[in-house]
Amino acid sequence: MALYKYGNRQPKIGKDSFISETAVVIGDVTIGNNCYIGHGSILRGDYGSIKIGDGSAVEENAMLHIEPDGLLELEDKVTVGHGALVHGKLIKSCAVIGIGSVLGFDVVIGVWSIVAEGCVIPKGNRIPDGKIAAGVPYKIIGDTLDRHKEFWLYGKQLYIGLAKEYPAKFERIG
């Protein structure tokens, strides 16, 4: 894994978290327990701070960053999909940020909310708890239902399992 100190800002990694050797974690980034930080992802806490809660997954090629002196917080069991660009402010517990979506500065995503693939949420917007946002720019298209929660709980547990298994099973062979 590529962990970088930036001045006096240094990453802190929780227990049983996996950070890919091709991920880049810079500066004031706190990663909780049982997290998965995927291949090619970049977490930049060089002039802002990032806090990732327990059981969260930042999937491959996602980019997390924040404005100077700002805080980007992902609460527990947040999923950030492949290739997402997150400047945001707060992503509450169990929320899902879809593949390739973009969250501008100061965006807040509610508990159990889902941001669909490719969705763009401009600066300063708020998605209420339990809502589904989709489109460019976003619109609220529905409510998070029990079937969505079941599916995403499975996915979240899958990544918690991967974080535990990767150190033993992931081996460079070439």
Tell me: the pLDDT tens digits for 95-120? 999 999 999 999 999 999 999 999 99
Q: Hey, what domains does the chain have and what are their CATH numbers?
A: 2-169 (2.160.10.10)
Tens-digit pLDDT profile for residues 43-77: 999 999 999 999 999 999 999 999 999 999 999 99
**Cα angle for residues 96, 97, 102 (degrees, 5° grid):** 165
Tell me, what's the pLDDT at 172?
85
The structure's pTM equals 0.96
Q: Where are the alpha helices (DSSP H) in 35-173?
A: 146-169
Q: Which long-range contacts (CB under 8 A, 24 or more apart) does 49-57 make?
A: 49/9, 50/74, 52/78, 53/77, 53/78, 53/93, 54/14, 55/156, 55/160, 56/32, 56/80, 57/156, 57/159, 57/160, 57/163
